[in-house]
Structure 1
Amino acid sequence: MRWRASIGLAVGDGPVSSIVESDHGSEGSAREWIEHKLPRARFPAWIPPARRADGVELFGRVARGRVVTGRLVPTWESDTGTAVWHADRAGDHVQWRRCPAGER
């Protein structure tokens, strides 16, 4: 099992896409990565500045799971029974909340 830290893009209440991901051996390491990267993260260039005021947000997520190989493209599968950490930017720091698996 690994811990995946990701910074994603959300519109309203729903995630749209992941911008960058990093796999870690521990939950603490994954959360530290988010705390370092998320406050400095920038919107992708394909999102014009005018759209950023329309509820588009960057967020962090830490989930436990594994990479499944043996397929055409290796894929990430979250551990469905494990809660997920979500992080929101709050100035130059991160606010964490723990959510049941499967929630944003």
Structure 2
Amino acid sequence: MRWRASIGLAVGGDGPVSSIVESEHGSEGSAREWIERKLPRARFPAWIPAARRADGVELFGRVARGHVVTGRLVPTWESDSGAAVWHADREGDHVQWRRCAAEER
């Protein structure tokens, strides 16, 4: 069992989401600490113009418990079903955490 910490981009409230950087950890605490260090200093990728950043594009953090599935052409991360997911939003130099229900696969 591993915890994956990721920093991602969300477009609008319900728009598409993509991960820009990920890190795997042996504990939930370690994964959350990584987000708390990285998210406040995270920058938007250069391919997102400044005008678009003010148009509902947000950086956020996420910590989920899961495992890597091998035996496929490309190994794939799968969140453990039933495990809660932590979401983090930037609040200046700090991170605001909220625990969310398990995500559907």
Instruction: Give TM-score, length-normalised by structure 2.
Output: 0.95
CA distance in 2, matches of 1:103, 1:37: 27
Q: 1:98 to 1:14 in 2, by over 3 A?
A: farther
RMSD in angstroms over aligned alpha carbons? Answer: 1.6
Unaligned runs of 5+ in 1: none
Q: Which residue of 1 aligns with 2:51?
A: 50
CA displacement 1:11-43 (0-9 Å, x = unmatched): 123452100000000000000000000000000
Separation in structure 2 between the aligned mates of residue 103 and residue 38 of structure 1, nearest angstrom: 25
Number of aligned residue pairs: give it.
Answer: 104
8 Å Cα contact 2:81/2:104 also seen in 1: no
Which runs of at least 4 in structure 1 moved beyond 3 Å after TM superposition? none
Q: Percentage identity across aligned positions? A: 91
Q: Which residue matches 1:89? A: 90
Q: Helix, strand or coil: the match of 1:35?
A: helix
Instruction: Give TM-score scaled by structure 1 length.
Output: 0.95
1:17–1:46 CA distance, 2 compared to 1 (3 A): same
Indicate conservation of the 8 Å contact 2:69/2:76, yes or no. yes
**Cα distance in 2 between the residues matched to 1:69 and 1:103:** 20
* Equivalence map 1:16-35=2 (5 Å): 16-35=17-36
Secondary structure of the residue aligned to 1:54 is coil
Gaps in structure 2 of 5+ consecutive residues = none
TM-superposed CA distance for 1:101, in Å, is 1.1
